[in-house]
Structure 1
Amino acid sequence: MSTPATPPTKRSQQLIQTYRMAKATDRFIGLITLGVFLLGAAVGFAVIWFLPGGQGTLKLILSIIGAILFGLLAAIIIFGRRARAAAFKQMEGRPGAAASALQMLRRGWKTDAVVGFTKQQDIVHRVVGPPGIVLVGEGNANRLKTLLATERRKHVRVLPDTPIHEVVCGNGEGEVPLPKLVRHVTKLGRNVKPAEITEILARLKAIDAQRGTVPMPKGPMPTSMKGMRGQQRGR
């Protein structure tokens, strides 16, 4: 009687999903990751092997362990970077791409997708975190000026003392490209404390209650970005 196969863990499922997503854009990601692993393994083996002291079987075992660890570390770093680049490339230009990217923000941040929109699919997302409130727009730059100004006024009425930042995601002048969006948002400063963030979120419920349900435009694959976020957090 055969033993049933052990189902893959959530982490392995995320890894497989991320690989399949990335391969659709970066078809050499598997070969490159394997090459990096072998190169890292060779370096790791050499580093341990040529260290002074030790000899014989013990040193060989330690060198092999070092090779595996160095190789895995190098492969994980390169795979993560290429997979992230592939995900951004697939999402760029699609409605809702900025919201998917913002899902990669770590703990201490709260992202609300599509707090404002136009019929032409210009969208404003909201992020609450250490900088305060960040309104992130994507779409036509001219229409977004009015939309962002409207959303700013709504938030100022409820939270007049909270810093409010406006960011437009795009490739135009003064806009932030999608791959750099998360880093740009996290570098806006630390203006509020965690306890204040809790109070801000409580007050924002008044705005959201008046807003009603806002449809999220059909966008790319936020699940793949969430999987990458989980890997970054070490879950």
Structure 2
Amino acid sequence: MAQAKNDASKEAKKAAKAARKAASKEQRQQIWQAFNMQRKDDKALIPLMIGVLALSVLVFTLIGVFVGGLWFMVVIGVAIGLLGAFVLFTRRVSRSVYKKAEGQPGAAGWALSNMRGQWRVQQAVSGTSQLDAVHRVIGKPGIILVGEGTPSRVKPLIAQEKKKAARVVGDTPIYEVVVGNGEGEVPLSKLERHLKKLPSNIDRDRMEALDGRLAALKAKGASGPAMPKGPMPQGAKVKNMARTARRRGGAA
């Protein structure tokens, strides 16, 4: 029996190793695809990446000349230059994707669902037949109602959702955000940053409790017409590639 357990353990380790290898290969393929897509639209990408690498090597070479350890400094310069070029690449990919997605129905919901961190996102808790929508986010700041569409239609929707939520969330802060480029609105590309700048008011346990209460409230109510939970904006796949790239860059 002990032998059987050892064999099973070896098989499990082998399978896990194969799965990690396959996932790593898929990530590399995604990054390569994202790079090829970006360089076709962004002619400055490759020159800028080469410039970052060259500048890093030059700086560390000069340090090596004056301080000592020339070849060691050159190696460090190459490593840091490659990392810097990679970071530049992922940022330009992200910027390009947000630019393509901006103004498309469902873009704000898609951006919210791709946020990193402890956020509970419920897309399109209410909407209109004109594809206006309000998304609900639960995070450490509290409740955040994010509207996208025509402001004159979105703001009343947010007010309705705020009134509903206030009945069950107690003294939890409720924030209102309208995505757009007008006065008092938050651009799509700055939405995640805006939410992360909000003050931390509740802990994780409170977030879980609020999520349950609001889910129950949602179940009792009727769904709004034509709520745009998608489709995913053009370029969303590239954003997922960029997120994968950032993770790999952080690991490096």
Provide the TM-score with structure 1 as the length reference.
0.84
Give the equivalent residue in structure 2 for 1:167: 177
Tell me which of 26, 32, 52 is aligned to 1:10.
Answer: 26
Give the equivalent residue in structure 2 for 1:229: 243
> How many positions carry a matched residue from both structures?
224
Name which of structure 1's ranges 89-98 and 157-166 shifts more when overlaid on structure 2.
157-166
Tell me which of 194, 197, 210 is aligned to 2:204.
Answer: 194
Q: Which residue identity is paired with 2:95? A: A
Asked whether 1:154 is paired with 2:168, we answer no
Q: Which residue identity is paired with 1:27? A: K
Deviations along 1:137-183, one digit per CA (max 9) or x if unpaired, are 11100001111111112212221322111100100111011111111
Q: Which residue identity is paired with 2:60? A: G
Give the equivalent residue in structure 2 for 1:40: 56
Decide whether the 8 Å contact of 1:130 with 1:191 is kept in 2: yes
Provide the TM-score with structure 2 as the length reference.
0.79
- Residues 80 and 194 of structure 1, relative CA distance in 2, 3 Å threshold: same
CA distance in 2: counterparts of 1:181 and 1:82, whole angstroms: 17
Gaps of 5+ in 1: 1-5
Asked whether 1:118 is paired with 2:128, we answer yes
Q: Which residue identity is paired with 1:222? A: A
- Residues 203 and 97 of structure 1, relative CA distance in 2, 3 Å threshold: same
Tell me which of 82, 106, 124 is aligned to 2:92.
Answer: 82
Asked whether 1:134 is paired with 2:150, we answer no
CA distance in 1: counterparts of 2:101 and 2:178, whole angstroms: 16
Secondary structure of 2:176's aligned partner: strand
Give the equivalent residue in structure 2 for 1:206: 216
Secondary structure of 2:175's aligned partner: strand
Secondary structure of 2:124's aligned partner: strand
Secondary structure of 2:131's aligned partner: coil
CA distance in 2: counterparts of 1:212 and 1:23, whole angstroms: 42
Decide whether the 8 Å contact of 2:106 with 2:228 is kept in 1: no
Q: Which residue identity is paired with 2:35? A: Y
Identity %: 38
Decide whether the 8 Å contact of 1:131 with 1:191 is kept in 2: yes
- How far apart are 1:21 and its partner, in Å? 4.3
CA distance in 2: counterparts of 1:17 and 1:160, whole angstroms: 47
Deviations along 1:64-104, one digit per CA (max 9) or x if unpaired, are 31121121122123212211211111111111111222234
- How far apart are 1:215 and its partner, in Å? 4.9
